[in-house]
Amino acid sequence: MDVKEMVMNAGILGAGGAGFPTHVKINCQAGAVIVNGAECEPLLRVDQQVMELYAAEVVEGLRLVMEQTGAKEGVIALKKHYEGAVKALGAAIEPFGQLRLHLLREYYPAGDEQQIVYEVTGRVVPTGGLPLDVGAVVCNASTLLNVADAAAGKKVVEKYVTVGGAVRTPRTFKVPVGISCRELLEAAGGTAEPCRYIIGGPCMGRVVDDPDVPVTKTTGGFLAFPVDHPLWKLREETLNMQLIRSVCCQCSMCTQMCPRNALGLNVQPHKAMRTIAQGTDLLGDANGVFSCCNCGVCTYYACNFGLKPSQAMQQMKAMLAQKGVKPRKEVYTRADRSIDDKKLPVKRLIARMGLERYDVDAPLSEKLLPTGQVRIMLRMGVGAPSVPVVGVGDKVRKNTLIADIAPGKLGVKMHASISGTVTAVTDSYIEIRKATV
């Protein structure tokens, strides 16, 4: 069995981003495989902890992906202040001459895939393109841990998740895929006041008001913040058009500080603000809109009026998509000569967002958090939903295949994360309850 087939059978997808099926991503030829260990979002700890505790496994996963892609070089990119991980990985790669560490400054969003590729290779991924366009494949550190586990015959049925924010005891837990986030919240001591929640990080994560949502293979964080925290105003998806028309002074600070614009990708949020407020003919070249990664630097830091330029960018993307406009690949892209001067320190961002009190350690527990029920979502990332191969009443054991890739579609296999009885099969999930003695 080759690496690609092994990864497919284990049900691996990107653990730290959009959830692209890994067996498809590595089915290529590349010059370099880059490990994204930057932990892009503030307050999350999981990737740095995985790299420190499982350095040998991360390196083994990297070597397996290099074998599959024919890459001659493997680069682990992580922030230099992750001292424990740097030390552990440095020792793990020592026997392998084709592997090296690339240490990053602490800035946001250092973990953005395009930023990582530029930092390591000095080349810019074009608008509408992929890292492979510049000869690279990028994998999250936790994804490579899963690849190493697959080589040992394991399936992706467990996940490490940082639980933080306003919880009493922030922790990183090892949990079964499909466990309710409410159980993670309770394991972290709950909260002292009414809260809303974010799955992922505070800048780009998904807002939820009900913690009864299941952990998926892409869940890296679950954060709680008080309902009156100012963050929620900036996370609202609606735009106040009257405020934009009357207050936005077109200072272009949002564009000047945009990390993707600094890469030369022509992302210009101030023009999106102007277009949204005044008319769609004011945008100019729309191609740069597609390179916006919704990191939120423009909203959470650059704009002094709280006008949410990132939301304007997302609306522009939607408008262009409705018109059938697609990104045009622009190959000859050069980064701004001042790109290093425009990097936003994470601590400054945390302070601006009012999150300093939550920027604390979240020690990792290697003991699996038990649960009596899981809900395995059939779609956890990019691609089509998986097709159930079990029915209500079926008895399943942990690691049993419960849903397969839809024929001819992009997707991943799903496996039972606990032993028990299938109690529900729907178009969106499979529910399993643990057998009681």
Counting beta carbons within 10 angstroms of the beta carbon of residue 28, is it exposed (0 to 12), middle (13 to 18) or buried (19 or more)?
middle
Res. 332: pLDDT tops 70 = no
Q: How far apart are CA 78 and CA 72, in angstroms?
A: 20
Lowest mean pLDDT, pick from 182-186, 282-286, 375-379? 282-286
Task: Please report the pLDDT score of residue 437 as a whole number.
Answer: 44
| Four-residue CA torsion sign, 190, 196, 198, 203 | negative
- Residue 344 belongs to what H/E stretch? strand 344-345
- Residue 41 belongs to what H/E stretch? none
Task: Please report the pLDDT score of residue 431 as a whole number.
Answer: 98
Choose between 9 and 246: higher pLDDT.
Answer: 9
Q: Rounded mean pLDDT of 28-41?
A: 96
Q: How far apart are CA 89 and CA 83, in angstroms?
A: 10
**Strand spans (E) along 40-188:** 73-79, 99-104, 107-108, 136-140, 158-165, 171-176
Res. 146: pLDDT tops 80 = yes
What's the pLDDT band for 374 if we cut at 50, 70, 90? very high
Lowest mean pLDDT, pick from 151-160, 255-264, 310-319, 423-432? 310-319
Q: Give percent above pLDDT 90 in the chain.
A: 84
Note whether 418 and 371 are within 8 A (CB).
yes
What's the pLDDT band for 286 if we cut at 50, 70, 90? confident
Mean residue pLDDT of the chain comes to 94
Q: Please give the span between the terminal C-alpha atoms of the chain, in angstroms, as a whole number.
A: 39
Q: Helix, strand, or coil here: 12?
A: coil
pLDDT in tens, 177-213: 999 999 999 999 999 999 999 999 999 999 999 999 9
pLDDT in tens, 53-76: 999 999 999 999 999 999 999 999
This prediction's pTM = 0.94
Q: Rounded mean pLDDT of 305-327?
A: 89
- Which domains are seen in the chain, by residue range? 3-151 (3.40.50.11540), 157-229+354-370 (3.10.20.600), 241-340 (no CATH), 372-437 (2.40.50.100)
pLDDT in tens, 76-86: 999 999 999 99
Residue 103 tokens, joined? 């240490």
